[in-house]
Amino acid sequence: MNFTAMAADKVMQDLVDCLLAEHFFGTEPLNLVAPSASADQPFTGLSAGQRVWEWPCGPQSCIVIALRPGITQQWEKVPGTPVWARQSEQLTELSPEAFTTQVLGEMTERYPDNEKGFALFLDVLRTSVRQTELSLSHGVDSERLLEKGNADFFLTMEQWASLRDRPYHPLAKAKQGLSDREYQQYQAEFARPVALHWVAVDRTLLQCGDGVTDLAQSYPAQYLLPALLQADLQQELQQRGIAQSHVALPVHPWQFEHVLQAQLGDAFARGDCQRLDFKDGDFFATSSLRSMTPCFNSADYLKLPMAIYSLGASRYLPAVKMINGGLSEALLRQALGKDQTLQQSLHLCDETKWWAFMPPDATLFDEAPRHLSAMVRGYPPALLADPDTRLVPMAALGTPLPGSNRHFFDDWMAYRQLPASAASVMTLFRELCHSFFDINLRMLRIGMLGEVHGQNAVLVWKAGHAQGLLLRDHDSLRIYVPWLERNGLADPAYRLKKGHANTLYHDRPEDLLFWLQTLGIQVNLRAIIDTLAEVYALPATRLWKAMGEVLNELIDTIEFDAETRTMIKHQLFEAPHWPQKLLLTPMIERAGGPGSMPFGKGQVVNPFHRLDHDA
């Protein structure tokens, strides 16, 4: 396989589709023409309903793209077709970089004085194509999945999920700051062990989570290292004479090498922080790169700051995020008592054990301290210990394996002794949708929604059935306070920076539903639909209709009041448009800089209105 061409094709598909969905080329109808049979026709084999779009870019020149009606947007690029530049009837096939250079060159009036934003965008795009190519060229071992133990199975599915990262985002694979060697060493799909560094931090300068009640009894190594390695680490602390005064925090080797001195050099010079020699233990990246497995059989995993740029944001780990995550987790655990189904089907990681460097003169919103911290994420031990249970990051279900028609549904059908048929795929997909939406709609009814894209939402698969969901990354729980209070729950009082927009609180229930429509359906379930359609040769429309039927049935049967039920049905099925989370235009406009992932809201067509079109 030509992985260079495959990577460019994947990135180009997402790039064109994303720009079209975000109305980057304007809101006027596109200049579309029917395919012709003439000799200079740039595309062959286009089917009925597909069109050729010509976008003018300069005198006697245009960009020519084959489009088809989409389900989640009006028009989308016909998969597998090239993008052409036409100059005086001469056709040249464009790479993603060449296409973007031409497009941005025509947008200087709309984005005046934004050379920095354009340059950053092109740099991230180049990185995304290159790193996509590296990932595609490496095969994830997907054989005999259910014969693996729980921890090995979970890690394999995390590696599978990492192959795509965030679906439909052309820049998702870009991890800026990593060389090719570092990318292959640290990215999950390559399955390479990582030796962490350790830094001793003055215990009086640590802020800790509610799960850390006594630093003498609750420290990172206790959860992350077996007894023999703990003893080796403790011995070094004793030899340095700091065993009583300092606590050892793990640090990602990339962060250790590239970031600590620049951000925290003064703290090291003072002795508040000390680099240790200890580096034993094999850790493995999961699909989020800085979240890692323990180095022995344990339900406690690790999350670290790693100041690479991904999705337009630096991936540090500030105490304020973990404080807010703790507030969310407490709220989630209270919510379990409000709904019997949630009590049985919604599982939560314990994210209360964390340690963050916090000098006395620092605030929660300072830059430097957020680069030295650690969280131990506790997975429910009963789930990892149950031989009939497997944990499946939903992103793995929405990620095709390059050059393969392998999917977890193959193992699922075999386990259930179902025939390997379209009907069986539809049966399992309906079960998956029922579990996913039953949990999310019940959370919505209480006044909350998790960030349920495919990386955070983990399917709990038990004895061949979709038993429920496991949620992680609680710091992104979205809430609508009036519904919380109506259900006997209180505003968690998140710590927020004054004057800065936040995406945790919402003024209307429709704004809370936004997260289910965007991350839950447009990203997570849509990726699963498209992957199932590709692997099992099913019409995507059939899967969308099945999902709509499951949604409708659940909205009718869950105990919503009449007003809320009407609102949800209107927003999901009747409104002509759905909201969408903008990805590329905010990034171009912000032109880089610190902060969380660039954010904006737009509108796209209602996918349930589009099901008469074949996708």
For residue 191, report the phi and psi dihedrals to the nearest 5 degrees.
Answer: 55, 40
Q: Is 489 strand, coil or helix?
A: coil
Q: Is the pLDDT of residue 98 over 70?
A: yes
Q: Which helix (H) or strand (E) holds 603?
A: strand 600-605
Gyration radius (Cα) of the chain, Å: 25
CB-based contact 471:345 (threshold 8 Å): no
Sign, CA torsion 355/357/360/366: negative
Q: Which residues does 170 contact at the CB level (< 8 Å), separation at least 6?
A: 11, 12, 14, 15, 18, 96, 125, 128, 584
Tell me the pLDDT band of 615, cut-offs 50, 70 and 90.
very low
Q: What is the pLDDT of residue 590?
A: 65
Q: Which of 41-45, 137-141, 252-256, 312-316 has the least mean pLDDT?
A: 312-316
Residue with tokens 């927020």: 496
Q: Among residues of the chain, what percentage have pLDDT more than 70? A: 97
Pairing of strands 346-348, 465-471: parallel
Q: Is the pLDDT of residue 439 over 90?
A: yes
Tell me the pLDDT band of 552, cut-offs 50, 70 and 90.
very high
Q: What is the pLDDT of residue 37?
A: 63
Cα dist from 570 to 58, 573, 574, 576, whole Å: 43, 6, 5, 9
Give Cα 545 distance to the centre of its chain: 25
The mean pLDDT value for 173-182 works out to 95
Q: What is the pLDDT of residue 598?
A: 67
What distance in Å separates the CA atoms of residue 298 and residue 301, rounded to the nearest whole number? 8
Q: Is the pLDDT of residue 614 over 90?
A: no
The mean pLDDT value for 319-323 works out to 96
Tell me the pLDDT band of 594, cut-offs 50, 70 and 90.
very low
Strands of the sheet with 273-275, listed across from one edge? 246-251, 197-202, 273-275
Q: Which helix (H) or strand (E) holds 549?
A: helix 540-557
Residues in a beta bridge with 445: none
Q: Is the pLDDT of residue 108 over 90?
A: no
The mean pLDDT value for 438-462 works out to 97
User: In this structure, what token pair is assigned to residue 469?
Assistant: 């969901």
Q: Which residues does 498 contact at the CB level (< 8 Å), separation at least 6?
A: none
Q: Is the pLDDT of residue 260 over 70?
A: yes
Amino acid occupying residue 215: L
The mean pLDDT value for 269-285 works out to 97
For residue 367, report the phi and psi dihedrals to the nearest 5 degrees.
Answer: -75, -55
> CA-based diameter of the chain, in Å?
82
Tell me the pLDDT band of 39, cut-offs 50, 70 and 90.
low
User: Which candidate, 572, 528, 335, places its Cα nearest to that of 433?
Assistant: 528
Q: Report all structural domains of the chain as residue ranges with CATH numbers, in order of start.
A: 3-133 (3.30.310.280), 135-340+348-378 (no CATH), 387-609 (1.10.510.40)
Average pLDDT, the chain: 94
